[in-house]
A = this chain, B = another copy of it.
Amino acid sequence: MKFEDALLPREKVFRDPVHNYIYVQHQIILDLINTKEMQRLRRVKQLGPSSFTFHGAEHSRFTHSLGVYEITRRICDIFLRNYPTKESGDGLWDDSERLVALCAALLHDIGHGAYSHTFEHIFHTNHEAITQEIITSPKTEVNKVLKKISPEFPKQVADVINHSYKNKQVVQMISSQCDADRMDYLLRDAYNTGASYGNFDLTRILRVMRPYSGGICFDVSGMHAVEDYIISRLQMYMQVYFHPVSRSMEVILTHLLKRAKELSDKMPINSSETPYLLMPFFNNNFDINDYLKLDDGVLNTYFIHWIDSKDSILSDLADRFINRRPFKSAEFTDDTEFLTTKLQKLIKQAGFDHKYYTDTNDCFDLPYDAYDPKKKSHATQIELRRPDGSMVELSKVSRLVAAVTGKQLGDERFFFPKEMLNSAQNIEIFQPIYEEFQKHIKNNQLIE
């Protein structure tokens, strides 16, 4: 008997608040969950600084990864029951692809680190490259487990995640405009934040999903279910992921890490202030084992130390981050962008180092995109299948989706210390600076 076929004598379940149960039926899936690389994801929050805005958003990348696995498993079950392949090339589902799909689903985020997006920006790491490495490097437990299937299996799993795998159905299950990854994070983030608008009808979407020669499409009868998913996704971006307070905390985090990096030459060695586990990154000389030691708690531990640092900027930014003291922000447009220079100057005059105390940040998302021969990179557009087998692209039949197709939604904001709005407790000499500053903020926007 091949390990691949080694179904557990009886399936195991993990209680899950979003999917009720996660069903594990293969020994290899259980073994992967028990690797230290997967367990590390318990210590990395799925939404990073968003929990400063939505206090319930404390869930980890570990629970999300189990969720993506479970949705993928359900898709395989439905495909096997309703659309099993009869002969090669018929565009139907070949269930021998199940295991690579499940492993890729479970491992798709394995390379994510603590506060990934910010961390990558400062330290030039790349969570996608690290995901590939964790899966294919012989140094990891994940790799050892995967190789029990076959020597080539790790590479196949990695290929699914980097989109180069030959079976497009498997690739699109994990990564497309309506995939297991997005479906789980929308539902899970909605569940944990309490943002009910992120909900959509998962069971119904899975029912109308089907394999075809080009990958995965949807029955046209389920058009509204897909439409509803697109809208839910858009609402979550606008209301949760792009929330100004979360972005403000991320701005602070960026400046905090930047300051620390700049100071790192001067960091005392062998003292309580030394961020030992970060040193390989400060020194730009790290390997995968260094990376895998980091998690949210490790970074926070150093930030807690730094609150007592003698460097007043490092100390202040660490305090703002750990104790949740966000910057304020205002939206600006191309027409008002020029004001940011002026406001920076005022902030500097008020005594803040503008390099660390102001920033701009834009958040834009493409809620949905259809194929456009003029564009360079192409998302996989959503295809609907009519009863007679012909296909139609989603935005052709949904007025709502058409309205947002190819349109970037979001905003660009200017961040600054909250103090700039609270003149009262400041000394008199700064009063005119503050007043001038405040003249330019109205309805949470920059104005002339």
**A residues within 8 Å of B by Cβ?**
10-11, 13-18, 20-21, 34, 36, 39, 42-43, 51, 54-56, 58-60, 62-63, 66, 82, 191-197, 199-201, 203, 207, 220, 224-225, 227-228, 231, 234-235, 238-239, 270-272, 274, 276-277, 293, 295-298, 300-301, 304-305, 319, 322-325, 386-388, 399-400, 402-404, 407, 409, 442-444
Residues of B within 8 A of A304 (CB): 277, 293, 295, 298
The answer on a CB contact under 8 Å between B199 and A196 is yes
Residues of B within 8 A of A276 (CB): 272, 305
- 10 A-B pairs, CB-CB below 8 angstroms? A15-B193, A16-B194, A18-B56, A20-B194, A56-B63, A220-B443, A272-B276, A295-B300, A297-B297, A387-B443
The answer on a CB contact under 8 Å between A196 and B207 is no
Residues of B within 8 A of A388 (CB): 442-443
Q: How far is the CB of A368 from chain B (nearest CB, A)?
A: 12
The answer on a CB contact under 8 Å between B224 and A56 is no
Residues of B within 8 A of A20 (CB): 194, 203
Bound form: Cα–Cα A201–B197 in Å = 7
Q: By CB atoms of chain B within 10 A, which of A10, A58, A231 has the most?
A: A58
The answer on a CB contact under 8 Å between B51 and A58 is no
Residues of B within 8 A of A319 (CB): 36
Residues of B within 8 A of A66 (CB): 55
* Number of identical monomers bound together in the oligomeric complex: 4
The answer on a CB contact under 8 Å between B194 and A17 is yes
The answer on a CB contact under 8 Å between B324 and A34 is yes
Q: How far is the CB of A60 from chain B (nearest CB, A)?
A: 6
The answer on a CB contact under 8 Å between A59 and B58 is yes
Bound form: Cα–Cα A194–B14 in Å = 10
Which residue in B39, B225, B235, B293 is a CB contact (below 8 Å) of A224? B235
The answer on a CB contact under 8 Å between A14 and B386 is no
Query: What 6 A-B pairs are tightest by C-beta distance, nearest first?
Result: A297-B297, A403-B403, A17-B194, A272-B276, A36-B323, A270-B270
The answer on a CB contact under 8 Å between A55 and B42 is yes
Residues of B within 8 A of A56 (CB): 15-18, 59, 63
Q: How far is the CB of A203 from chain B (nearest CB, A)?
A: 6
Bound form: Cα–Cα A126–B304 in Å = 22
Residues of B within 8 A of A21 (CB): 203, 207
The answer on a CB contact under 8 Å between B55 and A58 is no
- A404 touching B399 in the complex, CB below 8 Å, given contacts A322-B36, A387-B443: yes
The answer on a CB contact under 8 Å between B301 and A207 is no
Q: A197-B228, A272-B274, A399-B407 are in contact. List 4 more A-B contacts (CB 8 A).
A: A17-B193, A36-B322, A55-B62, A196-B200
The answer on a CB contact under 8 Å between A16 and B197 is no
Smallest CB gap from A51: residue in B: B42
- A15 touching B63 in the complex, CB below 8 Å, given contacts A298-B297, A409-B399, A443-B386: no
Bound form: Cα–Cα A39–B322 in Å = 8
The answer on a CB contact under 8 Å between B301 and A191 is no
Residues of B within 8 A of A16 (CB): 55-56, 194
The answer on a CB contact under 8 Å between B199 and A224 is no
Residues of B within 8 A of A225 (CB): 197
- A63 touching B59 in the complex, CB below 8 Å, given contacts A298-B301, A304-B293, A442-B388: no
Smallest CB gap from A46: residue in B: B58
Q: How far is the CB of A8 from chain B (nearest CB, A)?
A: 11
